[in-house]
Structure 1
């Protein structure tokens, strides 16, 4: 069930990011920074991908990218969908190199490090391939949006919920025997 919820969240985030960016382009977020309108959804997608790998594997994640790309064709321009698909796939390969071996050290450190590394790769590839300007304001804005608001904040909430609920552990990859003790 958790795998299917993670897959649904991942696909929905991909489609939402593409729809928002296709319809609203670059938007100011303050402090002179710009983001594509789908940045927060794209950042959430990077985190959702880690949950897909946590409960499934890389094949599920790549399949979700394909489904997200196919559905995005209904809502976004072909060039934007292609740029998004390439960027998400490249970020997934980076994630495979970082998140997968780091899972042994815990979900949160693995997700955090993989997203900090994959977010700028996803950002630069996407902006370049989609024809958006590769300016410092756009790259910084997207990095802050993807890493701070769409990765660090949700991971902190995830950790707090697990600690308070005494549920599934945040420091192990095995959901069956890794509970945190309150």
Structure 2
């Protein structure tokens, strides 16, 4: 496995564990300045959805599920009350995410990451909140989707696209190349 793959897999597992630990420790929190709620691990869970794509690209699809297994095992030690909810939610979300990401990846990373991240965020949110015993309210689901799909999927993709665009617009000789 390439070093980038090892790093992506480690980051993916860490994001899963962080999401569960934060949620176990702090529960639901209010988004500042909004009438929305999120579980405290929402941003880490959203990062896991994006990192899943990096794991698939660098290691292959089977390593995504190895990462979920690793995250589930560590979550069982750090946040046992959320281990089942997290594992079921990640397996379902990542299965759908992979089914969307893989065919779209041929047409570019950004489209694949955006669409699969939004699908993964929706499934992960509904399944996790239901199994973990959090209420399925408009404020809770809406906050989760803004956190996972908006801030952690859309924003990084837009930043990457902007950086790529700037890189194309600047002549190579002005970069010292």
Map 1:58-97; keep pairs closer than 5 Å: 58-76=61-79, 78-97=80-99
What is aligned with 1:127?
129
Q: Is 2:154 aligned against 1:152?
A: yes
Give 4+ residue runs of structure 1 displaced > 3 Å after superposition: 160-166
Mapped to 2, the partners of 1:157 and 1:12 lie a distance apart of 23
Give 3-state SS (helix, strand or coil) of 1:74's partner. Answer: helix
Map 1:22-171; keep pairs closer than 5 Å: 22-29=24-31, 30-76=33-79, 78-164=80-166
What is aligned with 2:17?
15
How far is the alpha carbon of 1:35 from its aligned partner? 0.1
Mapped to 1, the partners of 2:4 and 2:145 lie a distance apart of 28
Q: Return the index of the structure with the highest Cα Rg.
A: 2
TM-score (norm 2): 0.89
How far is the alpha carbon of 1:164 from its aligned partner? 4.7
Q: Which runs of 5+ in 1 are unaligned?
A: 167-182
**Deviations, residues 6-28 of structure 1 (Å, cap 9, x unaligned):** 11110110010000000000000
TM-score (norm 1): 0.86
Q: Which structure: greater helix fraction? A: 2
Mapped to 2, the partners of 1:160 and 1:13 lie a distance apart of 25
**Deviations, residues 135-167 of structure 1 (Å, cap 9, x unaligned):** 11000000000011111111222333445557x
Mapped to 2, the partners of 1:160 and 1:45 lie a distance apart of 22
Q: How many residues align?
A: 165
